[in-house]
């Protein structure tokens, strides 16, 4: 084989190799992945009833149920808020540590995904600031908490005490599932039998991080954690939860 023919064969071979690698015949693109989860807003109102929420209480010793006399229900608010309806949570803090709360499931979220749960709630209390009470103030001593959990909220028994199956902290301290958003005191007024006043509390974009379960569910939580060793009755009126995927 002469040099001219050999050069021709090498040139053709190089040209064919270049055709395979120069991108003129690329592999088909990979199919697009699923879109990222979207932020979800959940509006809630207790104007017509419990609207899927469940009321419960915890942080007491077995046998204290009758003396705590926990109750909940749906009713018209007392004057001057009697143009509104809401649900109430009420009980005597015989355990010096009573936690009363309402919870509701949210579905249709991305499974096994972290969300920041922010809650804003309109509520009503009849306790002004600066009042003196047993163990603690009946206003500032009743801490309001909000957040969410990746399991349906319920009670468990630990060390002989009835407590929650989610982390909500203790009294004025928040937990992994429920952060402190304020207390039930609303301002100046009569410490003995004050009228109910409306109050708005929010997590201010500082809500807890909650991982949904395998079915894309989580549960919203709003509650009061009391150091006041007396009777408390609060109303929940309406609000909004914002679930931001992380």
Average pLDDT, integer, range 209-233: 97
With contact defined as beta carbons under 8 Å apart, do 143 and 244 qualify?
no
Other Cβ atoms within 10 Å of 28 Cβ, number: 5
- 192 burial type by CB count under 10 A (0-12 exposed, 13-18 middle, 19+ buried): exposed
* pTM, two decimal places: 0.86
Domain 40-245, what fold? Jelly Rolls (2.60.120)
Indicate the pLDDT class of residue 26, thresholds 50, 70 and 90.
Answer: low
Give the model confidence (pLDDT) of 169-215 as tens digits. Answer: 999 999 999 999 999 999 888 887 779 999 999 999 999 999 999 99
Evaluate the omega torsion of the peptide bond into residue 80 and state whether it is cis, within 30 degrees of 0.
yes
Other Cβ atoms within 10 Å of 163 Cβ, number: 17
With contact defined as beta carbons under 8 Å apart, do 221 and 149 qualify?
yes
Other Cβ atoms within 10 Å of 104 Cβ, number: 18
Give the model confidence (pLDDT) of 53-94 as tens digits. Answer: 999 999 999 999 999 999 999 999 999 999 999 999 999 999
* Integer-rounded Cα radius of gyration of the chain: 29
Distance CA 33, CA 18 (A): 32
| Domain residue limits, the chain | 40-245
């Amino acid at each position: 084989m002469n040099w001219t023919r050999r050069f021709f064969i090498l040139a053709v071979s190089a040209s064919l190799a270049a055709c395979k690698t120069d991108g003129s015949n690329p592999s088909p693109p990979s199919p697009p992945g699923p879109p990222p989860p979207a932020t979800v807003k959940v509006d809630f109102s207790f104007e017509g009833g419990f609207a899927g929420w469940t009321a419960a209480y915890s942080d007491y010793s077995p046998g204290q149920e009758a003396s705590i006399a926990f109750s909940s229900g749906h009713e018209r608010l007392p004057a001057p808020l009697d143009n509104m309806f809401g649900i109430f949570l009420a009980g005597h803090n015989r355990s010096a540590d009573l936690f009363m709360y309402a919870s509701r499931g949210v579905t249709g979220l991305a499974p096994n995904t972290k969300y920041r749960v922010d809650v804003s709630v309109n509520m009503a209390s009849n306790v002004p600031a600066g009042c003196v009470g047993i163990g603690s103030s009946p206003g500032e001593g009743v801490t309001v908490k909000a957040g969410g959990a990746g399991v349906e909220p319920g009670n468990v028994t630990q060390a002989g005490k009835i407590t929650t199956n989610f982390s909500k902290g203790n009294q004025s301290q928040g937990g992994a599932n429920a952060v402190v958003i304020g207390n039930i005191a609303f301002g100046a007024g009569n410490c003995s039998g004050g009228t109910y006043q409306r109050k708005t509390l929010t997590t201010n974009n500082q809500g807890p991080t909650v991982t949904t379960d395998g079915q894309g569910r989580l549960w919203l939580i709003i509650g009061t954690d009391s150091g006041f060793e007396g009777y408390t009755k609060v109303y929940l009126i309406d609000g909004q939860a914002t679930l931001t995927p992380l």
